A and B are shown apart, each in its own frame.
Chain A
Amino acid sequence: MFSDGNWAAIILTVKLASIVTLLLLIISTPIAWWLAHTRCRLKPFFEALVALPIVLPPSVLGFYLLLVMGPQGFVGQITQALGIGTLPFTFAGLVVASVFYSLPFVVQPIQQAFENIGDNYLEAAATLRASPSDRFFSVALPLALPGFLTGSVLGFAHTVGEFGVVLMVGGNIPGVSRVVSVQIYDYVEALEYGQAHSLAITMLVFSFLTLLLLYTVNPNRRKL
Chain B
Amino acid sequence: MKQIVRFITGCLLLGVTVARADTVMVATAANFTAPMKAIAAAFEKHSGHSVMLTFGSSGKFFAQIQNGAPFDLFLSADAVKPRKLEELGWSVPGSRFTYAQGSLVLWSAQEGLVAADSPDILRSGRFRHLSLANPKLAPYGAAAVETMTRLGVYDRLSAALVQGENIAQAYQYVFSGNAELGFVALSQVMQDGTLKAGSGWVVPADLHTPIRQDAVLLKRGKDNAAAIALLDYLRSDTAAAVIRSYGYKL
Which A residues contact B (CB, under 8 angstroms)?
Answer: 66-67, 69-72, 85-86, 88-89, 167-168, 171-173, 185-186, 188-191
**Across the interface, which residues of B come within 8 angstroms of A71, CB to CB?**
177-178
Which residues of chain B (184-221) have a CB below 8 Å from chain A?
A: none
Q: Which one of B57, B59, B173 lies within 8 Å of A171 (CB-CB)? A: B173
Q: Is B23 an interface residue (CB 8 A)?
A: no
Q: When the two chains form their complex, are residues A173 and B178 in contact, meaning their CB atoms are under 8 A apart?
A: no
Q: When the two chains form their complex, are residues B59 and A172 in contact, meaning their CB atoms are under 8 A apart?
A: no
Leading 4 A-B pairs by shortest Cβ distance = A171-B162, A189-B59, A172-B163, A71-B177
Interchain nearest-CB distance for B101 vs A (Å)? 22
The CA of A74 and the CA of B220, in the complex, are separated in Å by 50
Q: When the two chains form their complex, are residues A189 and B178 in contact, meaning their CB atoms are under 8 A apart?
A: no
**Across the interface, which residues of B come within 8 angstroms of A86, CB to CB?**
178
Q: Is B62 an interface residue (CB 8 A)?
A: yes
Interchain nearest-CB distance for B169 vs A (Å)? 8
The CA of A85 and the CA of B134, in the complex, are separated in Å by 24
Interchain nearest-CB distance for A4 vs B (Å)? 16
Which B residues contact A (CB, under 8 angstroms)?
Answer: 57, 59-60, 62-63, 128-129, 131, 134, 136-137, 161-165, 169, 172-173, 176-179
Q: When the two chains form their complex, are residues A173 and B163 in contact, meaning their CB atoms are under 8 A apart?
A: yes
Q: When the two chains form their complex, are residues B162 and A188 in contact, meaning their CB atoms are under 8 A apart?
A: no
The CA of A188 and the CA of B179, in the complex, are separated in Å by 26
Q: When the two chains form their complex, are residues A172 and B134 in contact, meaning their CB atoms are under 8 A apart?
A: yes
Interchain nearest-CB distance for B174 vs A (Å)? 11
Q: When the two chains form their complex, are residues A89 and B165 in contact, meaning their CB atoms are under 8 A apart?
A: no
Q: When the two chains form their complex, are residues B136 and A186 in contact, meaning their CB atoms are under 8 A apart?
A: yes
Known: A70-B176, A173-B162, A188-B63. 6 other contacts (CB 8 A): A66-B173, A72-B177, A89-B162, A171-B163, A185-B165, A191-B62
